[in-house]
Structure 1
Amino acid sequence: MTLDTPTVAFVTVLVVCLQGGILTALWLIHRDMRGIGFWAVGALVVALGVLGAFLRSDSLPSAALAAANIAIVTGLTITWWGVDAFFGRRPGYGLGLAILAITATGVVYFIVTENSRARIIFLLGIFVLMAGLRLYSLLREVTPGTRFSQFLTSMALGAQAIYYLVLATTVFSLPPVEKPLAQVPFFGWLFLIPMLLSIVVVFGIVLLVNQTIATRLKESARRDALTEALTRRAMEEMAEHELARSRRHDLPLSLLLLDIDHFKLVNDQYGHAAGDAALRQFASAVRGCLRREDVFGRLGGEEFCALLPSTAVGGAAQLAERIRQSVANLAVEAGGNRLSLKVSIGVASLGDHAGSWDELVNQADRAMYAAKRAGRNRVIVGNAEPASAEQPG
Structure 2
Amino acid sequence: MRLDTPTLFLMTVVVTFMVGVLFLLSWSQDRTSRPLAIWGIAHIIGAVASALLCLRGSIPNPLSIGAANALMLAAYGLIWSGVRAFEGRAPSYRLAVSGGLLWLLACLVPQFYASLPARIALASSIAGLFCALCAREILRGRPEPLASRWSAIILMSLYAGLYWIRVPLAVFVPSMPAARIPESPWIAILCFAGVLFTVAIAFVLIAMTKERAELQQRLAAETDSLTGLANRRAFVRRTQRQLAGGQPVALLLFDLDHFKAVNDTYGHAVGDGALVAFSHLAGALLPPDAVLGRLGGEEFACTLSGCGAGEAARIAERVRHAVAGVSVAAYPRLRIGVSVGVAATSPGETTAFDDLMRRADAALYAAKRAGRGRVVVADPSPHRLAA
Same fold (TM over 0.5): yes
Following the alignment from structure 1 to structure 2, what is the Cα–Cα distance between the partners of residues 176 and 238? 63
Letter in 2 for 1:41: I
Structure 2 residue 81 is matched with structure 1 residue 86: no
> Is this contact kept in 1: 2:253–2:342, CA < 8 A?
yes
Q: Which residue of 2 aligns with 1:224?
A: 224
Give the C-alpha shift of residue 53 in structure 1. 4.3
> Alignment RMSD, CA only?
3.6
Aligned to 2:163: 164
Aligned residue number for residue 106 of structure 2: 109
1:34 and 1:324 map into 2 onto residues whose CA distance is: 45
Shift of 1:259: 0.5
Equivalent of residue 296 in structure 1, options 292, 295, 305: 292
Matched residue type, 1:122? L
Asked if residue 379 in structure 1 is aligned to residue 383 in structure 2, the reply is no
CA–CA distance in 2 between the matches of 1:338 and 1:18?
65
**What's the counterpart of residue 267 of structure 1?**
263
Over 3 Å counting, the alpha-carbon distance change for 1:59 and 1:34 in structure 2 is: closer
In the alignment, is residue 343 of structure 1 matched against residue 341 of structure 2? no
Identify the residue that residue 279 of structure 1 maps to in structure 2: 275
Q: Distance in 1 between matches of 2:151 and 2:258?
A: 54
Residue in 2 that maps onto 1:119: 119
Deviation string 1:224-263 (CA, Å, 9 cap, x unpaired) is 3333322333222211221232x2xxx4432221101111
* Higher mean C-alpha displacement, 112-121 vs 380-389: 380-389
Aligned residue type for 2:38: F
Post-superposition Cα deviations, 1:316-361, rounded to whole Å, max 9, x if no partner, equal 3343234334434556799x99844221122333227975233433
Q: Does 1:241 align with 2:236?
A: no
- Show CA shifts across 1:21-46 (max 9, x none): 11112112112235323323332333
Structure 1 pair 41–299 and aligned structure 2 pair: CA distance change class (3 A): same
Q: Which residue of 1 aligns with 2:62?
A: 62
Structure 1 residue 178 displacement after superposition: 5.4
TM-score by structure 1 length?
0.80
Which residue in the other structure is 1:362 paired with? 358
Aligned residues: 379
Contact 2:152/2:205, CA 8 A, preserved across alignment: yes
Cα offset for 1:265? 2.0
Q: Secondary structure at the match of 1:237?
A: helix
Over the matched positions of the two proteins, sequence identity in percent amounts to 30
Shift of 1:124: 1.5
**Contact 1:82 / 1:91 at 8 angstroms: preserved in 2?**
no
Alpha carbons of structure 1 residues 292 and 132: separation in structure 2 relative to 1, 3 Å: farther
Q: Residue 341 of structure 2 aligns to a residue in which SS? A: strand
* Mapped contact 1:229–1:298 kept (Cα < 8 A): yes
Residue 135 of structure 1 aligns to which amino acid in structure 2? A
Structure 2 unmatched runs, 5+: none
Counterpart CA distance in 2 for 1:314 and 1:385 is 15
C-alpha change, 1:360 and 1:73, in structure 2 (3 Å) is same
CA contact (8 A) 1:2 1:186 kept: no
Task: Say yes or no: does 1:321 pair with 2:317.
Answer: yes
Given that residues 354 and 363 in structure 1 are in contact (C-alpha distance below 8 angstroms), is that contact kept between their aligned partners in structure 2?
Answer: no
SS in 2 for 1:191: helix
Q: Which SS does the other structure have where 2:33 is aligned?
A: coil
Match in the other structure for 2:23: 23
The 3-state SS of whatever aligns with 2:372 is coil
Q: How does 1:143-222 map to 2 (within 5 A)?
A: 146-147=146-147, 149-177=148-176, 179=178, 181-182=181-182, 184-222=184-222
Counterpart of 1:72? 72
Q: Deviations over 1:293-312 (max 9, x none)?
A: 22112223221111122334
* Aligned equivalents of 2:137, 2:165: Cα separation in 1: 23
Relative to structure 1, the CA distance from residue 186 to residue 288 in structure 2 (aligned partners, 3 Å threshold; closer, same or farther) is same
CA distance in 2, matches of 1:330, 1:30: 43
Q: Aligned-pair distance for 1:289?
A: 3.0
SS in 2 for 1:259: strand
Q: CA 1:338/1:197 → structure 2, altered by over 3 Å: closer, same or farther? A: farther
Determine the structure 1 residue equivalent to 2:4: 3
Counterpart amino acid of residue 164 in structure 1? Y
* Kept in 2: contact 1:254–1:313 (CA 8 A): yes
Q: Which residue identity does 2:204 align to in structure 1?
A: G
Q: TM-score normalised to the size of structure 2?
A: 0.81
Residue deviations 1:147-188, cap 9 Å, x none?
0x3344444334423432444444334314553854642523
Asked if 2 retains the 8 angstrom alpha-carbon contact of 1:116 and 1:178, the reply is no
